Amino acid sequence: MSPPAMPLAKFVQTLELLTEEAQNSFAQASDADQLDESRVEFLGAKKGRLKLIQKDLAGIENSEKPAAGKSLNATKQAIQQAFDEAKKRLLGDQDKVVRDPKFDATLPGTKFRMGKLHPITQTINELKDIMGRLGFTPAQGPEVEDDYHNFQALNIPMSHPARDPLDNFYLSVAGKHSGAVAAGEEDNPTLMRSQTSTVQIREMERIDPPIRMVSLGRVYRPDTADWSHYPMFHQIEGLMIDKSVTLADLKTVLKLFATSYLGDEVPIRIRPSFFPFTEPSVEADYYWDGKWVEFGGAGIVDPNVLKSVGYDPEKYSGFAFGLGIERLCMIRHQITDIRYLFTNDVRFLRQF
Ligand code: PHE
């Protein structure tokens, strides 16, 4: 079947109309996406309208084919030119940019400095990870605590110096004789927790043994800031409760913990100490860089503490430890002053 005859005049007229339509369309494009849509519509290699019209060439008288071909090529050029102009209008003259003597396209791009986690946050994540591998699950407690969880349940008696208002950030007035306190407050004032041992109590209140928990967070004490003290710092608290847990288990966990964090075989030693909530209590040290470094406090959970949360001390025992996170972080990174960690000078923080 021969294609339908196509008069030359009609072919040329169709091309003229198409040119006009394409020019309008390109001129009206207001962004690169619109322009590209128009390009596909008119110049698309497969289904572009110019391509479709090209098929009509076959229906033109042989004698008129050269004229028709000429007209087709002129149309192609006109549409392409309209497209190039629209592109220049929308995207700028890119050749000119590349030739601009003030612009060197071969230079590396501007380096963008990514933000990072604070070194203490990095340390916390790492310590949590290490304890996780030893089977300890993360737990959390509030930073605004009550006297009961910060002291009473931890077997710290009313008369104990640790409760001194000068050593704690109390948020309400303690003492039965002060007038303006809410009902119940006088026996259980609120304070910023001074230790993460509070979470031992909260966790034991929440679940039954066996327990292996680790809690990392901020604690507050009104210390004057110097190279090794700050009124806010971080502790990691560990608690393991099960049947017949001993000091040997504690030593093993602390040794594995120090070895994992510091990356070398780290010897551990324990010295007798005193905490109201552990019996016996120890001070743990690890050997690092030629000397013994204080690790923190630890011990076997006092039966009175187990009783305060309703556990049977005849059935269960456990160990607890509380270590300063800043000190670990400072030793590992050779930071000489704790204040660097909290003054947030980016030149310091960027190094981690
Ligand atoms: N909470 C104690 C402190 O802040 C450390 C500690 C934790 C001691 C657990 C024994 C058991 O000093």
Residue 211, both tokens? 């327990």
Same domain, 317 and 206: yes
Using the structure block, give the residue that is written with the tokens 């009902």.
Answer: 183
Report the separation in Å between the CA atom of 197 and the middle of ligand 1, taken as the mean of its atom positions.
6
Q: Is residue 29 part of a domain?
A: yes
Q: Note whether 280 and 344 are same-domain residues.
A: yes
Residue 319 Cα: closest atom of ligand 1: 11
Distance from the CA of 340 to the center of ligand 1, in angstroms? 25
Which residues in the chain show pLDDT less than 70? 1-4, 93-98, 173-186
Give Cα 271 to chain centroid, integer Å: 38
Q: How far apart are CA 120 and CA 115, in angstroms?
A: 15
Contact 126/257 with Cβ under 8 angstroms?
no
C-alpha of residue 283 to centroid of ligand 1, in Å? 9
Tell me if 155 is assigned to some domain. no
127 and 248 share a domain? Answer: yes
- Note whether 99 and 219 are same-domain residues: no
Which is nearest to 82 in space by CA: 45, 48, 39? 39
CA distance 265 to 305: 34
| Ligand 1 pocket, Cβ-based, cut-off 6 angstroms | 195, 197, 275, 278, 296-299, 320-322
Q: How many independent structural domains does the chain possess?
A: 2
Pair 135, 42 in one domain:
no
Q: Is residue 39 situated within a structural domain?
A: yes
Q: Give domain status of residue 269, yes or no.
A: yes
Q: Which atom of ligand 1 is nearest to the CA of 296?
A: 5
Residue 157 lies in a domain: no
On whether both 232 and 342 belong to a single domain, the answer is yes
The CA distance from 2 to 285, in Å, is 99
Q: 29-46 burial string, b = 16+ CB within 10 Å, else e?
A: beeeeebeebbeebbeee
CATH number at residue 106: 1.20.58
Domain co-membership, 17 together with 102: yes
> 0.75 exceeded by the pTM?
no
- Sign of the Cα torsion 341, 343, 347, 349 reads positive
Q: Which amino acid is at 192?
A: M
Inside any domain, residue 27: yes
Q: What is the CA radius of gyration of the chain?
A: 39
For ligand 1, the distance from its centroid to the CA atom of residue 236, given in whole angstroms, is 9
Residue of 160, 197, 240 to mutate, ligand 1, most atoms within 8 A of C-beta: 197
CATH of the domain at 332: 3.30.930.10
pLDDT tens column, 70-109: 999 999 999 999 999 998 888 876 666 667 777 777 787 7
Determine the structural domain holding residue 86 and report its residue range.
8-115
Q: Distance from first CA to last CA of the chain, Å, rounded?
A: 79
Do residues 325 and 253 both lie within one domain? yes
